[in-house]
């Protein structure tokens, strides 16, 4: 519950507020852009109060996604409709309720023919599980890497789901049923493949679904300011060189949407995905990790 006694001093007057327990995970700013912004230390505050029903809904989503429960209101009644699961595109739902243990990573429910998928894990809440029940439950829990396991075990237990992770990150999920080794792509279920993409961590993987959706963990995300797919140079824990090689592995895939753990999901489009990924790996090798985040916004790659 948000702490009014720790309200951020920059919050504008009004119903909604953010407290200073914020950890700068950026999630609230993704759900409520223009309403919640970051101060110079990266702490979120309410820059503008919502003016429409859609903006109110955005604030509710931000509040329910926030891993520190730092976003509160003074007197509103909770809407009848839950903020999450929230359908991003037909068949793919943001789960919200981002977990502090994963530094607020996003997780996704994919309603998939005969075998629903949970990609990484949110907090386990019975109220959220009730809505997952209505969507058909979960057959496979797909873990992108060691950092975003969160409450995966509790979700898997509730549904008797199989749990997938790469062996190089498997110590973070000793309850996993399917531990994959090596660098070869592995079939998870019909239309769903696990693609090893070492770099962010040694055991990072992406999940490619139905030749159109790519769940990337912390390997690849949409960079809003650059308006292109990008990598987190400052959060490459294992190997920049391996991460560049992994971009070459992902480049030939057919992808319309990218759904990351951190950063924002985006409908990139098949052609734009191919064009942007074609030389991402080689650009990373040429520019290098230390200069990557400082390169010009439109360098021609
Ligand atoms: S989601 Fe919460 S912790 Fe993350 S940036 Fe927003 S207010 Fe801060």
How far, in Å, from the CA of 67 to the mean position of ligand 1?
7
> What's the pLDDT score for residue 4?
92
Q: Which two tokens stand for residue 294?
A: 């400082």
How far, in Å, from the CA of 162 to the mean position of ligand 1?
31
How far, in Å, from the CA of 1 to the mean position of ligand 1?
13
Residue-level pLDDT, tens digit, the chain, 301 residues: 899 999 999 999 999 999 999 999 999 999 999 999 999 999 999 999 999 999 999 999 999 999 999 999 999 998 988 999 999 999 999 999 999 999 999 999 999 987 999 999 999 999 999 999 999 999 999 999 999 999 999 999 999 999 999 999 999 999 999 999 999 999 999 999 999 999 999 999 999 999 999 999 999 999 999 999 999 999 999 999 999 999 999 999 999 999 999 999 999 999 999 999 999 999 999 999 999 999 998 654 4
> What's the pLDDT score for residue 114?
78
Please name the fold of domain 86-292. Metallo-beta-lactamase; Chain A (3.60.15)
Best substitution site from 26, 100, 102, 263 to test ligand 1's pocket, by max atoms within 8 Å of Cβ?
26
What pTM was computed for the model? Answer: 0.96
How far, in Å, from the CA of 217 to the mean position of ligand 1?
19
Please name the fold of domain 4-70. Alpha-Beta Plaits (3.30.70)
Residue whose CA is at the smallest distance from ligand 1 atom 6: 28
**According to CATH, where is 3.30.70.20 located in the chain?**
4-70
Residue whose CA is at the smallest distance from ligand 1 atom 2: 66
How far, in Å, from the CA of 299 to the mean position of ligand 1?
31
Terminal CA-CA length for the chain: 44
């Amino acid at each position: 519950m948000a702490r009014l006694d720790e309200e951020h001093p920059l919050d504008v007057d009004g119903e909604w507020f953010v407290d200073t327990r914020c950890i700068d995970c950026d999630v609230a700013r993704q759900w409520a852009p223009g309403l919640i912004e970051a101060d110079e230390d990266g702490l979120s505050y309410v820059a503008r109060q919502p003016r429409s029903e859609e903006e109110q809904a955005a604030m509710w989503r931000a509040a329910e996604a926030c891993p520190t429960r730092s976003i509160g209101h003074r007197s509103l009644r909770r809407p009848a409709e839950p903020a999450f699961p929230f359908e991003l595109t037909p068949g793919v739902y943001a789960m919200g309720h981002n977990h502090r243990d994963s530094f607020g990573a996003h997780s996704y429910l994919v309603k998939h023919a005969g075998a629903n998928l949970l990609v990484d894990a949110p907090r386990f809440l019975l109220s959220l599980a009730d809505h997952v029940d209505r969507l058909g439950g979960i057959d496979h829990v797909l873990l992108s890497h060691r950092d975003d396991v969160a409450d995966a075990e509790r979700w898997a237990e509730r549904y008797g789901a199989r749990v997938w992770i790469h062996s190089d990150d498997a110590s973070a999920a000793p309850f996993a049923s399917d531990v994959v080794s090596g660098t070869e792509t592995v079939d998870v279920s019909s239309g769903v493949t696990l693609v090893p993409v070492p770099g962010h961590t040694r055991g990072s993987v992406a999940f490619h679904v139905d030749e159109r959706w790519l769940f990337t963990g912390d390997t690849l995300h949409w960079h809003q300011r650059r308006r292109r797919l990008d990598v987190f140079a400052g959060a490459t824990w294992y190997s920049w060189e391996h991460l560049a090689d992994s971009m070459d592995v992902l480049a030939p895939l057919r992808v319309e949407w990218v759904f990351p753990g951190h950063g924002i999901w985006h409908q990139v489009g098949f052609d734009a995905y191919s064009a942007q990924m074609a030389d991402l790996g080689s650009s990373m090798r040429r520019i290098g990790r230390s200069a990557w985040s400082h390169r010009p916004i439109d360098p021609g790659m």
